[in-house]
Amino acid sequence: MSDETPRIRRVAGSLVEVSPLRAALYELALVGDQKMLGEVIRQRGDLATLQVYEETTGLCVGEPVEVMGATLTAQLGPGLLGSVLDGIGRPLERVAEATGDFIAPGARADTLAADARWHFTATRSAGERVSGGDVLGTIEERPGMLHRVLVPPLVSGLLATLTSGEFTVTDPIGALADGTPLFLSHRWPVRTARPVLERLGSSRPFVTGQRVFDLFFPVAEGGNAIVPGGFGTGKTIIEQSLAKFAEADIVVYVGCGERGNEMTDVLTEFPALVDPRTGRPVMDRAVLIVNTSNMPVAAREASIYLGITVAEYFRDQGNRVALMIDSTSRWAEALREMAARLQEMPGEEGYPTYLANRLGQFFERSGRSKLLGSPAREGAVTIIGAISPPGGDFSEPVTQAALRVAGAMWALDAQLAHQRHYPAVDWETSFSLYAEQVAPWFTEHGGACWTALRQELMALLQKERELRDIASLVGPDALEDHDHLVIEAAAIVREVVLRQNAYHPHDAISSPQKTHALAAAALELLHKGEAQLSAGSPFSSIDLVPARRALMAMRDGETP
Amino acid sequence: MTGSLERVYRGAAAAGGPLLFLERTRRVALGEWVIVRMKGQADRRGQVIDAGEHATVVQLLDETVGLAPDRAEITLTGEVATTVVGQELLGRAFDGHGASADGLPAPIGEAVRTINGAAINPVRRARPLDFIETGVSAIDAMNTLVRGQKLPVFSGPGLPGLELAARIVEWSRAPRGEPFAVVFAAVGITARESREFVDRLRASGAMSRTVLYLNEAAHPAVERLLAPRLALTCAEFLAFERGIHVLVVIADMTHYCEALREIATAREEIPGRRGYPGYMYTDLASIYERAGIIRGRAGSITQIPILTMPDDDMTHPIPDLTGYITEGQIVLSRELHRRGISPPIDVLPSLSRLMSGGIGKGRTRAEHREWSDQLYATYARGREARTMAAIVGASGLPPADQRALKFADAFEENFIAQPGGRRTIDETFAAGWSLLAQLPRDDLLRISDATWQAHAALSTAPSAVAVPP
Ligand SMILES: Nc1ncnc2c1ncn2[C@@H]1O[C@H](COP(=O)(O)OP(=O)(O)OP(=O)(O)O)[C@@H](O)[C@H]1O
Ligand SMILES: [Mg+2]
């Protein structure tokens, strides 16, 4: 063998040093005898440093490396919906067919099934000029579900041929006059945002179906929210509830460095759950990207980029897409592990100094946009990112970096979780910058008093906090009758408005109308009590229990 | 690994702490198993943690006192760490690197497996749904354990974490009486603790279905990184290739994390929180995630790791990162322990995330969820009232808080505490209902009317609760 073959000179964790090799940054390579996928992340002279997307134990100094001349791309096209991919886009079912129940290195599998045939109906014809984003035609991917086949973003020219018919994703469906072939699918580098025509503001909310978010801390469509919280405070349940019930055309769910059994939950629940708006299983509108905590770290780092690229692809077809990331912190930690192995100068808590930039760039890929190509259309990607702060302490770098770009924060509180108050959203520290812009929509679709209810409820909870502080200092005797009423009413608001049981068949989702009705009814209870007090009845004569039980029945009742 | 040939080198460039540094080695592999020999000393074992053409770092699992790097003979074995597995290991005891520790010859076994394991493909996992009756009310009622779960015990210095694990092992009943086995990894605990645990296994007759891996406090510290992996490799074979339901108990993960920190410090890595390495989450996940059930295979692995919270602090990186990986936690309370409540489980911060799947109609009882929520809510209110009472006196509390306070006392003494030993799930339900029955209906808003009426009908029927079916 000649000395020119690039060979492994060092293996340290998921990093591999290779020489002689002159490659481009982020270029892909096949590493070692098992041809594991890796990516160049540093180049110095003829020494390249690669991160390997697979388990490196057993990888040997001296094994050959072969660069591939391309960066990590996502294969985008029909067949994505309903699939379960690892962090670099391999369908886990296909990996299982290759390596069995346990994941072993070296499995190669394209994201899209090569043998699936799709019926394509062309909507453009030869002789027309097309450019990036133009819809070439459609596929009915599932009954009633159209997949629009697009001209890839940077491609344009005169359409020489385009045919309707049965195709696989690798069969050409036509070509441009310059010979560029067109397919049902195309590839896009995951670390590059897909272009849009124009970014738009949004007055339409991303309706979550969770009362505390929709009413108190709403997110606009195309916005983003972060969900920081210590372990067990309910981040995953929130991500899953939103994936199931939020109003989105498509959901991309990234399990980034989390538990295997949680993905099993998703995989058993999503296919069985019917989306009331379409009558089809939730799984039909979902793409799952799964890189659990014990799967390779480098692929974990890549997983969120694959997720957003898939989300953008569906957005480009004109969809409203929700991207759930559980958990952003595990991505940041993967970045940190890599930086440490590269012996880069560490910033705060060992995270690389570019953490905030990378995080910012990622969250900036959310948005509502006017899309490239014709017909003219709009689409949105909303990002909901869980964050797992060490010790539940939000002053740590990942939470702080995310706060700089977040439009809303749903702060989860361990104390509330210990009280089994779920979602354990701390209403004092959480915020939303979208509340005003989406208020008109909620007033129209939820109920006329939306904003007033929101303000009055917030004030009530604030008042309760003050009174409880007083009571804990000097005892409940110091409180007046009206104070007792406020405390009781606030308790009822917490119970029937803020709390929402994800496991309850009817309470798990709450429409804006139901949220409005419950909030209004809870406040009416307070107002009635106040009237009784001012008519001279003492607080001890007011029995709130029956009304409270009526409200709980309303909460748990069948209307969504 | 390619070129898996043994190579022998004379003399290492340097040694420091548990690390040995080699220069100019040929075709080293990451994770390669290494033997270090010195005249007049016992062989030492190690693993390559940084494989380089010019410089290679070996992490030694044995003590390095007396090791002279330039005079050592170093063998790169050409293989990653492996261990022998098989059903004949049941009833046997091994040390922390898998050598026989019971005087019997080394087992031949049925297979040899690499100890780091591989990740279970998430799409091949089956959902854990089978209720394990542990006989501990605080767990069965409110933090239900299911087969395939990883549920750690968060103990504190001097708290009986290992004893609780022993009790669970003794008392647990498999859902349908299927074959089950115990694999125990002692990691840095004292010889006394480990003996007590093993004696209890023996007394309960479980020893013949148990495999022991014992790395005790006196044994080499770095070996602690190996013992849990050996135990899990053995468990995976029994579970997924022999169809046995395996309960893996690992004690104490705090010692494991300290060994991890020791290596990181020796390598002069940039320390993360409180000196623990930044990759500790990933490393712990490579242990805890080796639990679960695989579709189409008969057995399962349920993990109960024990850890000691330094200073009883749940935000310390060891419990914190563990909680971020496991499916809940059982938290022990110093206050309950001091008051003689045994087991001293604090149900408020405890949680079983897989509970919902394992309870309810056809598994435990239809009303399990609301009943358990009610016990929890009333107890939480009582605990809050107790804090309040310390300020304003119990008589200054509103009547409902006074009732909750009384409930909390009774709950700790008659429900959490189990002086009478194991409780069946029916006995646990009876104990819980008899506490709730002392409260007025209006205090029990979590209980639905239907459940309330069904229960009332039951309890008026003679002895329906006292003698469970
Ligand atoms: N809305 C809810 N309704 C009912 N139970 C809930 C709800 N949210 C959370 N829980 C309970 O809290 C537990 C923990 O929630 P979850 O797994 O979402 O926590 P997490 O914040 O994702 O934790 P980690 O960071 O460790 O992954 C759940 O298993 C469930 O028992
Ligand atoms: Mg989670």
Residue B49 has pLDDT above 90, yes or no: yes
**pTM for the whole thing?**
0.95
Q: Which residues contact A142 (CB under 8 A, 6 or more apart)?
A: A81, A280, A284
In chain B, what residues touch A93 (CB-CB under 8 Å)? 123
Q: pLDDT by residue (tens digit) across A298-351?
A: 999 999 999 999 999 999 999 999 999 999 999 999 999 989 888 888 888 889
Instruction: Find the domain containing B58 and state its range.
Output: 7-80
- CATH 1.10.1140.10 region(s) of chain A? 446-556
Nearest ligand 1 atom to alpha carbon B353? 29
- CA B335 distance to own-chain centroid: 23
Q: What ipTM was predicted for this assembly?
A: 0.94
DSSP A269-298: HHHH-EETTTTEEGGGGEEEEEE-TTS-HH
Residue B467 has pLDDT above 60, yes or no: no
Element (H, E) at A472: helix A450-474
Residue from A210, A213, A236, A326 whose mutation best tests the ligand 1 pocket (most atoms within 8 A of CB) = A236
What CATH number does residue B116 fall under? Answer: 3.40.50.12240
Cα–Cα distance between B138 and B432 in angstroms, integer? 10
In-domain check, residue B465:
no
Looking at B28, B59, B80, the residue that finishes a domain is B80
What does the pLDDT read at residue B394? Answer: 85
Does residue B214 share a domain with residue B256? yes
Nearest Cβ partner for B52 among A10, A102, A263: A10
Cα–Cα distance between B91 and B202 in angstroms, integer? 10
Residue B2 has pLDDT above 60, yes or no: no
* Separation in Å, CA of A25 to nearest CA in chain B: 22
Q: Cβ of A504 under 8 Å from any chain B Cβ? A: no
Structure tokens at A528: 């009635």
In-domain check, residue B464:
no
Measured in Å, residue A349 CA sits from the centre of ligand 2 at 22
DSSP A41-101: EEEETTEEEEEESS--TT-BTT-BEEEEEEE-EEEESTT-TT-EE-TTS-BHHHHHHHH-S
Task: Answer whether the bond into residue B128 is a cis peptide, omega within 30°.
Answer: no
| Pocket lining: A232 vs ligand 1, CB cutoff 6 Å | yes
Q: Cβ of A199 under 8 Å from any chain B Cβ? A: no
Nearest ligand 1 atom to alpha carbon B323? 26
Give the highest mean pLDDT range of A532-536, B21-25, B288-292: B288-292
- % residues pLDDT > 90 (chain B): 80
Measured in Å, residue B45 CA sits from the centre of ligand 2 at 38
Looking at B46, B80, B114, the residue that finishes a domain is B80
Which residues, numbered 269 to 288 in chain B, qualify as contacts with chain A under a Cβ-Cβ cut-off of 8 Å?
269-273, 278-279, 281-282, 285-286
Q: Per the CB < 8 Å rule, is B125 touching A264? A: yes
Q: pLDDT by residue (tens digit) across B227-251?
A: 999 999 999 999 999 999 999 999 9
- CATH 2.40.30.20 region(s) of chain A? 7-71
Mean confidence (pLDDT) of chain B: 92
Q: pLDDT by residue (tens digit) across B66-115?
A: 999 999 999 999 999 999 999 999 999 999 989 999 999 999 999 999 99
Does residue B135 share a domain with residue B269? yes
Closest Cα partner for B219 from B188, B186, B255, B263?
Answer: B188
What does the pLDDT read at residue A560? Answer: 61
**Alpha-carbon radius of gyration of chain A:** 27
Q: pLDDT by residue (tens digit) across A458-470?
A: 999 999 999 988 8
In chain B, what residues touch A333 (CB-CB under 8 Å)? 278-279, 281-282
- Residue B447 has φ and ψ, to the nearest 5°, of -90, 125
Residue B358 has pLDDT above 60, yes or no: yes
Does residue B104 share a domain with residue B73? no
Nearest ligand 1 atom to alpha carbon A501? 3
In chain A, what residues touch B127 (CB-CB under 8 Å)? 261, 264-265, 268
Please tell me the CATH code under which domain A118-183 is placed: 2.40.50.100
Mean pLDDT of B177-191: 92
What does the pLDDT read at residue A2? Answer: 52
Residue from A226, A227, A231, A237 whose mutation best tests the ligand 1 pocket (most atoms within 8 A of CB) = A237
In-domain check, residue B13:
yes
Which residues, numbered 297 to 356 in chain A, qualify as contacts with chain B under a Cβ-Cβ cut-off of 8 Å?
297, 330, 333, 336-337, 340, 346, 349-350
Cα–Cα distance between B445 and B370 in angstroms, integer? 9
Q: Cβ of B319 under 8 Å from any chain A Cβ? A: no
Q: pLDDT by residue (tens digit) across A354-368?
A: 999 999 999 999 999
Does residue B290 share a domain with residue B383? no
In-domain check, residue B469:
no
- CATH 3.40.50.300 region(s) of chain A? 200-435
Residue B271 has pLDDT above 90, yes or no: no
* Separation in Å, CA of A291 to nearest CA in chain B: 9
Q: Which residues contact A75 (CB under 8 A, 6 or more apart)?
A: A89, A110, A111, A112, A169, A185, A186, A187
Structure tokens at A349: 């808590």
Chain A interface test: which of B121, B125, B288 (most A C-beta within 10 Å) = B121
In-domain check, residue B467:
no
In-domain check, residue B131:
yes
Tally the C-alpha atoms within 13 A of residue A31's C-alpha that lie toward its C-beta.
32
What does the pLDDT read at residue A142? Answer: 87
What does the pLDDT read at residue B461? Answer: 53
- CA B422 distance to own-chain centroid: 21
Q: Per the CB < 8 Å rule, is A261 touching B2? A: no
Closest Cα partner for A271 from A97, A96, A142, A88?
Answer: A142
In chain B, what residues touch A260 (CB-CB under 8 Å)? 119-120, 122, 125, 289, 292
Mean pLDDT of B386-413: 91
Q: pLDDT by residue (tens digit) across B438-466?
A: 999 989 988 988 999 988 877 665 443 43
Does residue B88 share a domain with residue B160? yes
Contact in structure between B187 and B305 (CB atoms under 8 Å) = no
Which residues, numbered 179 to 238 in chain B, qualify as contacts with chain A under a Cβ-Cβ cut-off of 8 Å?
none
Q: Which residue has the tokens 């004696």?
A: B199
What does the pLDDT read at residue B460? Answer: 63
Structure tokens at B215: 């790395």
**pLDDT band for position B176 (cuts 50, 70, 90):** confident
Does residue B327 share a domain with residue B395? no
| Pocket lining: B353 vs ligand 1, CB cutoff 6 Å | yes
Q: Any idea of the CA torsion for B443, B448, B449, B450, to the nearest 10 degrees?
A: -150
Does residue B29 share a domain with residue B93? no
| Pocket lining: A500 vs ligand 1, CB cutoff 6 Å | yes
| Pocket lining: A233 vs ligand 1, CB cutoff 6 Å | yes
Contact in structure between A197 and A379 (CB atoms under 8 Å) = no
In-domain check, residue B1:
no
**pLDDT band for position B4 (cuts 50, 70, 90):** low
Residue B24 has pLDDT above 60, yes or no: yes
- Give the residue whose CA is nearest to atom 6 of ligand 1: A422
What's A446-556's CATH class? mainly alpha
Closest Cα partner for A229 from A402, A361, A358?
Answer: A402
Q: How many domains does chain B have?
A: 3
Give the DSSP letter of residue A115. Answer: S
Which region among A126-130, A182-186, A400-404, B15-19 has the lowest average model confidence (pLDDT)? B15-19
Contact in structure between B349 and B164 (CB atoms under 8 Å) = no
Looking at 2.30.38.10, 3.50.50.60, 3.40.50.620, 3.40.50.300, the CATH number of the domain A200-435 comes to 3.40.50.300
* Separation in Å, CA of A439 to nearest CA in chain B: 33
Cα–Cα distance between B216 and B81 in angstroms, integer? 21
Q: Per the CB < 8 Å rule, is B348 touching A418? A: yes
Looking at B358, B388, B404, the residue that finishes a domain is B358
CATH-assigned architecture of domain A7-71: Beta Barrel (2.40)
Q: Per the CB < 8 Å rule, is A231 touching B320? A: yes
Chain A interface test: which of B21, B125, B257, B293 (most A C-beta within 10 Å) = B125
Find the closest chain B residue to A83 by CA distance. B123
Contact in structure between A222 and A202 (CB atoms under 8 Å) = yes
Residue A175 has pLDDT above 70, yes or no: yes
In chain B, what residues touch A100 (CB-CB under 8 Å)? 121
- % residues pLDDT > 70 (chain A): 99
Residues with CB under 5 A from ligand 2 (ion): A 235-236
Residue B150 has pLDDT above 50, yes or no: yes
Q: pLDDT by residue (tens digit) across A45-102?
A: 999 999 999 999 999 999 999 999 899 999 999 999 999 999 999 999 999 999 999 9
Does residue B24 share a domain with residue B88? no
Q: Per the CB < 8 Å rule, is A60 touching B126? A: no
Q: pLDDT by residue (tens digit) across A483-524?
A: 999 999 999 999 999 999 999 989 999 999 999 999 999 999
Residue B281 has pLDDT above 60, yes or no: yes
* Separation in Å, CA of B40 to nearest CA in chain A: 32
Does residue B423 share a domain with residue B331? no
- CATH 2.40.50.100 region(s) of chain A? 118-183
Chain B interface test: which of A16, A49, A60 (most B C-beta within 10 Å) = A60
From the CA of A240, the nearest ligand is 1
What CATH number does residue B46 fall under? Answer: 2.40.30.20
Does residue B44 share a domain with residue B23? yes
Does residue B275 share a domain with residue B424? no
Measured in Å, residue B288 CA sits from the centre of ligand 1 at 18
Mean pLDDT of B406-421: 96
